[in-house]
Chain A
């Protein structure tokens, strides 16, 4: 009776997911963000909205790549005239560039703060505001308790939050639904033409609740994410190169 056992286990898993608040897509929608294999790593195979995602970055280059990745996601989240709030410590985000990632720059409200404490406060307040499409907070340190507060805020409002952790010293556990690491990768021009190609990133899911961590190569091209095939091969090439 291995089949029935597996059935029971899978049914129980589904039940547990539902109790934890992951609802299966009502009409079977998949690939909400156009991330392809990345989304398959999440429970139910759907990118969790109404949750807080955490992106860790080691330097400004990685923070910029993470910003680009988030902006690509925002273009989907803000599709029907939504507004997002970008709370930053640096305040060096250049609005003109957002348009290239499919986001209307005048629909983004920037809040430039100096202290982590203020960012957390502003982020919690913003996440409680159901009228927003997404909230992005750039900060250095966040502990479990603070991330739990943010998680509780989004559970009410169903707003999607992104925490961009730049130059943080210690990465402890948080209540976030997923932990990402985005690194820039060398771009490629088709047919070996000189010059820069489309932005390409190494997208790593370091931790994901009830899902499968993994690593993929994603390119932003023509207003959408293009998952690159054969990540393993590319990776090897990278190592060699």
Chain B
């Protein structure tokens, strides 16, 4: 497909921004200045200052001599880059590939985007008008190459839309500065009397190379489309993404649901064809008021089932605030993985951890109450009760060691052992009576002690002597004494046996 590019030029980027912030400056000639080689040079002007004959690169002292009421402000380093980034992110609603062109432009790769707004003319009008209503004086042009669009946006006088393959004709009447050349080369061209591109376009390349160097030829070739030019997009494109621009802003839950279904159908058809499944996906909703809201989902196993993914998004719809309306939906699968379609069929309906319905259930639970609530445990090689289990990383992870059953372990283990008052007949004897939460329990039977040493390489502290005891009512507890039996032994209740 023929590539199409749009270049937006902000004529008064810095001053427009300041005027937006301080509207009183609208009626005043305004310049930004920065010191350069011991002189204060003007770096940006507003239209009023320009009308009075102040231009970029002029010494501030000269400008002040021309206009008495000139507002002079210090140049803010890095401000343009920041502003362009913001504007570029705003432009993502028109195309996913937006690049910043310092110091005062944006480059948009609009291949295959413009028809969604009717035509290239409508598309351009929409963007430029929206930017102008925002307060930025923007000029834009569309062409096959970045170079041509750049030139026409800045110096074109006839039409901003250069038809496919017509970039050479469009460039002919423009000055050489439209080719993005170094000042040294421009000066040379000026001296030699080349006022337009037309005047040197048909000179043999070898002659041009000898006089102006390789760089000059590269720029010319790029503008004509003989040489490829790459841009660095602001946001790297996600390989699996679907876009859905809406003619009318969407404000209802039903509308959002339809949008999600449409996006998922497109995405899942593609994933299915490639044998992949979504692990993580983000739905980005660009609103009319310029803000973006998003909702994310994640799955335990790769899935390309529309109904399942829709259920996950359905739980998130309440978090999407449409405000005045959503004009663009963007669904990005930020993480995909290969899934075996055959295996998928094999696993359905078979009980076990690999069951696809289980994975879908856990996705839904995680989507509603958070993934941190779901736990599966595997044995860990520690004797210390709190460390004897560890959470499994994935559903498919299997225990590396066996579960131990040689020691009695309580069915319920308190997260923190609770202090109990204990009376024992003799030191190192199991407790005879203990008081837990105000209730006295008379111990009838007891097993123990089972000494569990603290793992000194992990933490410091006393060892524990565990006793399994049964009280007169038949209730069974797991008690331990912290440390040796001394004057004030500390007893804790740590668990309940079944």
Which A residues are within 8 Å of any B CB, using their own CB? 60-61, 63-65, 67-69, 71, 80-83, 85, 90-101, 104-113, 118, 121-122, 125-126, 128-133, 183-187, 189, 194-197, 199-201, 220
Contact A200 B377 (CB under 8 A): no
B411 at the interface (CB under 8 A from A): yes
Q: Identify A112's interface contact among B373, B399, B468, CB under 8 A.
A: B373
For B447, what are the chain A residues with a Cβ–Cβ distance below 8 Å? 195-196
Contacts A92-B412, A186-B472 given; indicate if A113 touches B498 (C-beta within 8 A): no
Shortest CB-to-CB span from B303 to chain A, Å, is: 15
Shortest CB-to-CB span from B49 to chain A, Å, is: 63
Q: Mark B477-498, 1 if CB is under 8 A from A, else 0.
A: 0000000000000000001111
Contact A129 B358 (CB under 8 A): yes
B398 at the interface (CB under 8 A from A): yes
Q: 30 pairs across A/B with beta carbons < 8 Å? A: A61-B476, A64-B412, A69-B498, A90-B412, A92-B412, A94-B409, A94-B410, A95-B377, A96-B404, A97-B413, A100-B409, A105-B377, A106-B377, A106-B378, A106-B379, A106-B398, A108-B377, A109-B374, A121-B368, A122-B365, A125-B361, A129-B360, A131-B357, A132-B351, A132-B358, A189-B445, A195-B446, A196-B408, A196-B445, A197-B445
For A220, what are the chain B residues with a Cβ–Cβ distance below 8 Å? 498
For B389, what are the chain A residues with a Cβ–Cβ distance below 8 Å? 94-96, 105
B28 at the interface (CB under 8 A from A): no
Contact B498 A99 (CB under 8 A): no
Shortest CB-to-CB span from A232 to chain B, Å, is: 18
Chain B residue nearest to A186 in the complex (CB): B474
B462 at the interface (CB under 8 A from A): no
Shortest CB-to-CB span from B235 to chain A, Å, is: 35
Please give me the 3 A-B residue pairs with the lowest Cβ-Cβ distance, nearest first: A68-B498, A131-B355, A94-B413
By size class, the interface of chain B is 35 or more
Contacts A67-B498, A104-B403, A131-B349 given; indicate if A97 touches B474 (C-beta within 8 A): no
Contacts A83-B355, A131-B355, A131-B357 given; indicate if A187 touches B474 (C-beta within 8 A): yes
Q: Which of A71, A94, A98, A126 has the most CB of B within 10 A?
A: A94
Contact B374 A196 (CB under 8 A): no
Give chain B interface residues in 441-483, CB to chain A under 8 Å.
444-447, 468-470, 472-476
Contact B365 A125 (CB under 8 A): yes
Contact A100 B351 (CB under 8 A): no
For A61, what are the chain B residues with a Cβ–Cβ distance below 8 Å? 475-476, 496
For A184, what are the chain B residues with a Cβ–Cβ distance below 8 Å? 473-476, 498
Contact A81 B352 (CB under 8 A): yes
B205 at the interface (CB under 8 A from A): no
Contacts A106-B376, A129-B361 given; indicate if A82 touches B411 (C-beta within 8 A): no
Contact A199 B476 (CB under 8 A): yes
B388 at the interface (CB under 8 A from A): yes
Shortest CB-to-CB span from B381 to chain A, Å, is: 12
Shortest CB-to-CB span from A87 to chain B, Å, is: 9
CA distance A196 to B446 in the complex (A): 6
CA distance A111 to B366 in the complex (A): 10
Chain B residue nearest to A103 in the complex (CB): B403
B392 at the interface (CB under 8 A from A): yes
Q: Identify B411's interface contact among A71, A113, A186, CB under 8 A.
A: A71
Q: Which of A65, A67, A97, A104 has the most CB of B within 10 A?
A: A97
Contact B376 A64 (CB under 8 A): no
